[in-house]
Structure 1
């Protein structure tokens, strides 16, 4: 009778529990931790070069558009001058008489202040004398001037009569490089060193004065108004890089577009179609919104970089600044604040580290992509919430650091994993099945250290097989015929070893060395028994294969042979052996020597195509499945102590 040839195969998809332990950091893994500071430094350098400024502004604008619109400010009314108003008047500039009538009607309701956002440096007849009288009789009327000349517009003087009384505000606006207005001026200082308040600040201070609030300057040079602290803009706040910070600038916290303010047309006011208390105790701004007058500007509400939407009239921008000042002082409405450069640096480093951690965890693939998307979305949501609370924290630099670090660490890991896979596959690829090779790869952290597979002790079963009378056959056959004949034998035997989940350790001449139970240690008695049974079953199958080959060779007129097999179960040491130029995985130990001695023991002993001798430990594992015969306690060559030897009854 023969040993059962069918052995239950292992599950190669089941990884050892220890695979899920935290991986100890080797040098290459540790060097991956340098990625966050390196990426952070690169991002900071790119940001400082101004490359990210436009994208930072675009993120600011998007946050502004996504923010829920606030309710109208009931303290401000805007009297608009649109195309129908100009047609009704019949000319532009509007005659002084019309402006005088308009201001007079508004003043009758006793507003706190009236801001006339229309240039009047020169008379526009008819009615100039009437307007001069209004200048004298309406003490809360504020005129405008343009203090700073730019590439398209020169300075424009205010009405002299209002200038003498100190009732003038500047309507200069600060445009960013993309043509949008995100900053407002509280004051500026022209060449004559006389500070000029902006129109919005002038009107707001008049309103706050009625509530007993006057400005004070803090120790660090900022302005305190009631509950509001107005932090002076510096050239590198938020997403800005080396911006012009001239004058007293603040980041504009828009209340909203024109729809967020109560408006009425000039014609409706002149023709008495306004509520009788519309202007009472309020700030009134008068200004053009007609497209033909081109007093329109791009703001964060004007769409994206590639799709520009409606522009905002200058008078509405001044209304926003006025509302911002009053709301901060009386209501505690948040002003935009920014982090220090140190905090921004730390923030970028943190997100670079998060990207590195996610890239380390999920590597390349859909998991990595999903983690980057979720992480980027979480960051955006966090900063949107912060924006609602008045904090402008740059989005683009941490997003770039987060994404770059994730991709960099994933690529870095993929590179050293490729190197490790190459090493593992070089050592095992020729000797094991693809399934075992993949299992070895999955458990590589338990095997690989310092660029090689370290030696480790384990219980395994070793098989040695050799042809009987090969030397005589080699003498009688031509070299090419011998090589072809031997390759047929070796290919058949190697395939059988792999089919039984063993590894081919060596092919030396006509000898085959195979090992069962390596390189992943077998820890349970059931697994060790499976390895021994697999080895004996493999030997039986090798004998059956040799019978088939002999039949084929006999028909082809080639020599026929028999084989000897020695099998030993016991402790072995496995690992990579060799030099940096050539390295192989091998198995060493007393059990290897026993298996080799069993194969070569008494070459005249035994008959049949395949003689199989096993040691005591193998016999203990397979005796319940195989018929064995006790040969005796034998002194094997090179050993001082005898061992019990058994033969597998294999017809």
Structure 2
């Protein structure tokens, strides 16, 4: 049944581009695998750690002078004891309020009276008129809300101080609004109301969005950046930390109570009162803290307040991410780049260099993007890039090893190691479907054959004969390889060698060099065998005579045989003529070295060898006559070329 033309064409396309299609399939599988693993949250922790590194790299902003922290340190609680009395908090509020700050935020639950001075605390709060108190929203079973104090609820604002934590109790995000406003949200709103009444955080109920100045505040979803299936209750945002711990101005509670401060330190500022005493355990790990370092809760709230105020007044960007679809496309593109790099640049060293350059570029680009408050999926992108590249490169190397095995099996026994390396570097010219395709090439073919093998073999034991023959054939092969030829095959005690393959020589200079190399090799073989004859005769063995025939011409070169047993060889009339010339030594005098060459080879010697015209003969199986020359020696001095019709030495 004949297949439709489109299917035939498609099959041919797949056959031609098999490796590229497999590489594409590997790349697709890698990108899909990375995306599936990311969607399952496999990379969450390592992505969040890379996020922390990105955040630490951007801590080059100046301190926000609009915010001041009044800290309750270990020294303060040792002096005044803990918990501070209501009277002490009242004094703190009165002292700060006297400097006319924009807002006073107290990061301490004041829901229950402590010791004495409750009426003074209420009075101080009322007089200040800009106090934000702390509440707590229970999100875990077994815990209770901390509600605003009834006596303070009507005279102050309040906001919850809950902080969202990731694994390891790391604070990277915060819900600025839940059922009510957060502590930082309420401080920000009161600050903006006091100093910038027309620039407050605005809620759009239709879009369910808050805006800060010109920006929409990006709200975290369940799948946001590295987060997967995360609790996204409330209006959560990524905290863009301004600096490391103590990057805001700190004034001790003792100094405030004692009046040791300048009013300018608080005027028109957001003042946050909070704990920095390690023993009270109000501290957290953050992206900008390292090792055992921590940041206290009041500092985290100060960073959130600074983020909201700066976004509204200075257009400082919130940390944003792309949509999931766009992030997936970004990751897939990098996997495609990695796989494509390995596919189209198979050189391992160049590939590794470009891969390293791309990986560094991706990393640096991600840092630059984060400086603009854009959090890119750096780890999955790097994983896709490197994994696709490594797997495709491994596949390419496996294919190369398979091809090299085929090539080495075809050539390693026939050509020199140097030529094998050249063949490998040009493998694409040779290989197709695991075999070397036939190609028409111009070569010089050399045949040798021992004349009296039977006589020599009779004088030796069978084992000795094999060693002797291997020595004989090895001598011929070594000279062929030394002169740049290829040993095509051994036929009993005969050897067939070819010059000009497997790398085709297209220009005349190379073809001439091949012919001269073949004649050089023939003379070298004759001299070596003459030396060996002396040894064999001394051992009581009969001397051997070896006939050599050389011809130049066009042949078909390629691999022959089945897939299990391939041999590289050449076929054509030029091969037959060389074989006939070798055999013709039995009928005519081949000279002292028994070397006969054809007219085609003789024309390429350029007077570099002493030759003698034998005559024109119709060789066995041929109707057309062939001009034949015997080779005498290497020409010491260049002599004029004598007519080929002459029988004189040239």
- Under a length normalisation based on structure 1, what TM-score does the superposition of the two structures give? 0.91
Following TM superposition, by how much is the alpha carbon of 1:431 offset from its aligned partner in structure 2, in angstroms? 0.8
Q: 5+ residue gaps in structure 2? A: 1-14, 635-650
Match in the other structure for 2:53:
62
Secondary structure in 1 matching 2:219: coil
Following TM superposition, by how much is the alpha carbon of 1:150 offset from its aligned partner in structure 2, in angstroms? 3.8
Q: Is 1:201 paired with 2:192?
A: no
Verify the 8 A CA contact 1:563 1:609 in the aligned structure 2.
no
Verify the 8 A CA contact 1:77 1:284 in the aligned structure 2.
yes
Q: 2:100 aligns with which of 103, 110, 130?
A: 110
- Deviation readout 1:377-417 (Å, 9 max, x if unpaired): 22111111111101011211111112212221221121111
Match in the other structure for 1:92:
82
2-side partners of 1:297 and 1:637: how far apart? 99
- Deviation readout 1:265-315 (Å, 9 max, x if unpaired): 111111111112322222111111111111111111121xxxx23211111
2-side partners of 1:310 and 1:74: how far apart? 24
Q: Is 1:409 paired with 2:399?
A: no
- Under a length normalisation based on structure 2, what TM-score does the superposition of the two structures give? 0.91
Higher mean Cα deviation, 208-217 or 140-149? 208-217
Q: Is 1:225 paired with 2:212?
A: yes
- Deviation readout 1:204-229 (Å, 9 max, x if unpaired): 11222342124131754221122232
Q: 1:135 aligns with which of 113, 125, 130?
A: 125
Q: Is 1:43 paired with 2:31?
A: no
2-side partners of 1:607 and 1:393: how far apart? 81
Q: 1:584 aligns with which of 557, 567, 587?
A: 567
Following TM superposition, by how much is the alpha carbon of 1:471 offset from its aligned partner in structure 2, in angstroms? 4.6
Q: 1:121 aligns with which of 62, 86, 111?
A: 111
Verify the 8 A CA contact 2:609 2:633 in the aligned structure 1.
no
2-side partners of 1:231 and 1:69: how far apart? 23
Q: Is 1:628 paired with 2:611?
A: yes
Following TM superposition, by how much is the alpha carbon of 1:602 offset from its aligned partner in structure 2, in angstroms? 5.8
Verify the 8 A CA contact 1:70 1:260 in the aligned structure 2.
no
Question: Counterparts of 1:410-425 in structure 2 under 5 Å?
Answer: 410-425=393-408
Match in the other structure for 2:158:
168
More RCO (CA 8 Å, sep 6+): 1
Following TM superposition, by how much is the alpha carbon of 1:367 offset from its aligned partner in structure 2, in angstroms? 5.3
Following TM superposition, by how much is the alpha carbon of 1:375 offset from its aligned partner in structure 2, in angstroms? 2.8
Change (3 A) 1:225 1:485: closer
Secondary structure in 2 matching 1:33: helix
Q: 2:595 aligns with which of 587, 602, 612?
A: 612
Match in the other structure for 1:213:
199
Secondary structure in 1 matching 2:264: coil
Verify the 8 A CA contact 1:566 1:599 in the aligned structure 2.
yes
Verify the 8 A CA contact 1:135 1:161 in the aligned structure 2.
no
Match in the other structure for 2:648:
none
Following TM superposition, by how much is the alpha carbon of 1:561 offset from its aligned partner in structure 2, in angstroms? 1.5
- Deviation readout 1:314-351 (Å, 9 max, x if unpaired): 11111111111111111100011101111211211222
Following TM superposition, by how much is the alpha carbon of 1:163 offset from its aligned partner in structure 2, in angstroms? 2.9
- Deviation readout 1:401-441 (Å, 9 max, x if unpaired): 12212221221121111111100000011111111111111
Higher mean Cα deviation, 261-270 or 585-594? 261-270
Match in the other structure for 2:637:
none
Secondary structure in 1 matching 2:21: helix
Question: Counterparts of 1:262-411 in structure 2 under 5 Å?
Answer: 262-303=249-290, 308-360=291-343, 369-411=352-394
Following TM superposition, by how much is the alpha carbon of 1:482 offset from its aligned partner in structure 2, in angstroms? 3.2
Following TM superposition, by how much is the alpha carbon of 1:616 offset from its aligned partner in structure 2, in angstroms? 1.2
Match in the other structure for 2:639:
none
Provide the aligned C-alpha RMSD in A: 2.1
Higher mean Cα deviation, 439-448 or 162-171? 162-171
Change (3 A) 1:178 1:362: farther
Match in the other structure for 2:21:
30
1-side partners of 2:266 and 2:574: how far apart? 104
Question: Counterparts of 1:73-84 in structure 2 under 5 Å?
Answer: 73-84=64-75
Q: 1:179 aligns with which of 154, 169, 176?
A: 169
